[in-house]
């Protein structure tokens, strides 16, 4: 399929997902050789009509040179000629921008010339100036407001798709005996809270429980290979034991249920611009509830009026295992020379590198409990970084043993969750 045809399918996808009637298409798609019966059965198992339409449009891109014109013909034969016309229109090259007249910048004079001085912009900022009678009469406050709105729009990631993105949640609770890692009691409480939260934020949530390290990597790679072109964001949440790990970019490593490690930087780099092109320029958020090491922090005394919050009555558990240098190279990150500079990435850690992350069997982890609470209360009005500062402050105030979350932020703009 030609690139212009692929581009047309992607640009028209929102309308096709909303309007395409897939039921009349199945027999013709098979008769005209675009899909086999097995492929069609898989498409039909995608879920709702909209989900089937979305997957059909995605899969069409890989069905050869004749797929596009054949699909247009099928649309017309099934009474959906309007959608065929939309695709043809999207396939046309974009019109060239209009040629502007050759306007020369002029010097700005002080009003009425009374001051005897003139004010001019630097050469690289000179602009053409209209006569006073030609200028639209806009109240100063309205003009300033619209300019502020435009600046704000430039600084905010736009989330308009529904769902706005995929959310993969890996929840490791029970570990093999050979791993010598204890069960993570309370993690299911965290998992349920996060599932509910991100569904409310218009994410398509997929949860996987008790995965070995290799299985975790497979899930991450499968998500990275999906087409995110019609989506605006991607979220990965990992709940597991963790530890320190030698690293080049992002610290820490996560245990699979078999006791083998997956470095955090390997997790993140599954979604970089090289490995996941359809997420280029889109925010990729990672939330990690796991220990960064086995150090226990009792904090330090500060001069303040508010007493530190005491630890609840329930027992505390950590998600730590002492750091050991990995044997061999199987858990080492990929060669850094092949990795581009991260962009549009945020990795939120439940604790500072090297330290434990606390979890209560009945209430779940401090970090997730606080994160969910803050996002539920503030996401309608505040951006993600502002909310993460509140999470850090709240968690840092808890308990006799201390914990402080933090993040590695490579987002280029502010991120606001889609709230209903």
- Residue 1 is given by DSSP the state -
Distance CA 402, CA 330 (A): 33
User: 160 and 226 in contact (C-beta within 8 Å)?
Assistant: no
Three-state DSSP at 346 gives: strand
The total of other beta-carbon atoms located within 10 Å of residue 141's CB is 8
Compute CA 395 distance to the chain's CA centroid, rounded to the nearest angstrom. 24
**Strand partners for 239:** 171, 289
Region of residue 35 (left: phi > 0; alpha: psi -120 to 50; beta: else): beta
Distance CA 82, CA 62 (A): 24
Strands of 183-332 (E only): list them.
203-209, 233-239, 242-243, 253-255, 261-263, 284-289, 317-318
Active site residue ranges: 241, 291
Strands of 182-230 (E only): list them.
203-209
- Kindly report the backbone phi and psi dihedral angles of residue 407, in degrees, each rounded to the nearest multiple of 5, phi listed first: -145, 155
User: 221 and 236 in contact (C-beta within 8 Å)?
Assistant: no
User: 261 and 213 in contact (C-beta within 8 Å)?
Assistant: yes
Tokens at 43, concatenated: 């498409």
DSSP 126-185: ------GGGS----HHHHHHHHHHHHHHHTB----SSS-EEEEEEE-----GGGT----T
Distance CA 372, CA 385 (A): 14
Sign, Cα dihedral of 348, 351, 354, 356: negative
Hunting for tokens 């529904």 — which residue is that? 162
User: 10 and 90 in contact (C-beta within 8 Å)?
Assistant: no
């Amino acid at each position: 399929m030609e690139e212009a045809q692929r581009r047309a399918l992607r640009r028209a996808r929102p309308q096709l997902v909303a309007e395409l009637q897939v039921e009349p298409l199945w027999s013709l798609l098979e008769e005209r050789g675009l899909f086999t019966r097995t492929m069609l059965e898989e498409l039909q198992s995608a879920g709702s009509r909209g989900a089937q339409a979305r997957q059909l449009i995605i899969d069409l891109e890989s069905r050869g040179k004749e797929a596009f014109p054949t699909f247009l013909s099928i649309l017309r034969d099934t009474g959906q000629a309007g959608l065929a016309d939309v695709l043809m229109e999207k396939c046309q090259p974009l019109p060239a921008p209009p040629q502007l007249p050759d306007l020369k910048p002029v010097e700005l004079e002080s009003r009425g010339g009374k001051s005897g001085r003139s004010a001019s912009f630097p050469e690289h900022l000179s602009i053409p100036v209209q006569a006073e009678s030609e200028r639209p009469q806009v109240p100063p406050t309205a003009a300033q407001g619209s300019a502020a709105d435009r600046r704000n729009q430039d600084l905010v990631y736009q989330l308009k798709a529904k769902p706005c993105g995929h959310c993969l949640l890996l929840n490791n609770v029970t570990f093999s005996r050979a791993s010598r890692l204890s069960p993570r009691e309370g993690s299911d409480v965290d998992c349920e809270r996060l599932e509910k939260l991100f569904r409310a934020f218009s994410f398509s949530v997929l949860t996987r429980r008790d995965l070995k390290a290799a299985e975790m990597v497979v899930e991450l790679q499968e998500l990275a290979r999906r087409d995110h072109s019609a989506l605006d964001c991607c979220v990965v949440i990992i709940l597991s034991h963790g530890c320190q790990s030698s690293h080049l970019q992002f610290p820490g490593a996560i245990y699979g249920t078999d006791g083998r490690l997956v470095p955090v930087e390997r997790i993140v780099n599954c979604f970089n611009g090289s490995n996941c092109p359809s997420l280029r320029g889109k925010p990729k958020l990672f939330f990690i509830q796991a220990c960064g090491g086995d150090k226990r922090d009792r904090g330090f005394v500060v001069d303040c009026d508010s007493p530190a919050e005491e630890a609840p009555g329930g027992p505390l558990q950590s998600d730590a295992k002492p750091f050991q240098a990995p044997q061999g190279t199987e858990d080492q990150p990929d060669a850094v020379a092949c990795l581009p500079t991260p962009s549009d990435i945020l990795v939120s850690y439940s604790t500072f590198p090297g330290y434990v992350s606390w979890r209560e069997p009945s209430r779940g982890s401090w970090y997730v409990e606080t994160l969910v609470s803050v996002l539920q209360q503030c996401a309608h009005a505040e951006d993600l970084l502002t909310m993460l500062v509140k999470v850090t402050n709240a968690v840092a105030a808890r308990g006799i043993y201390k914990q402080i979350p933090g993040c590695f932020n490579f987002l280029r703009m502010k991120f606001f969750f889609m709230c209903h």
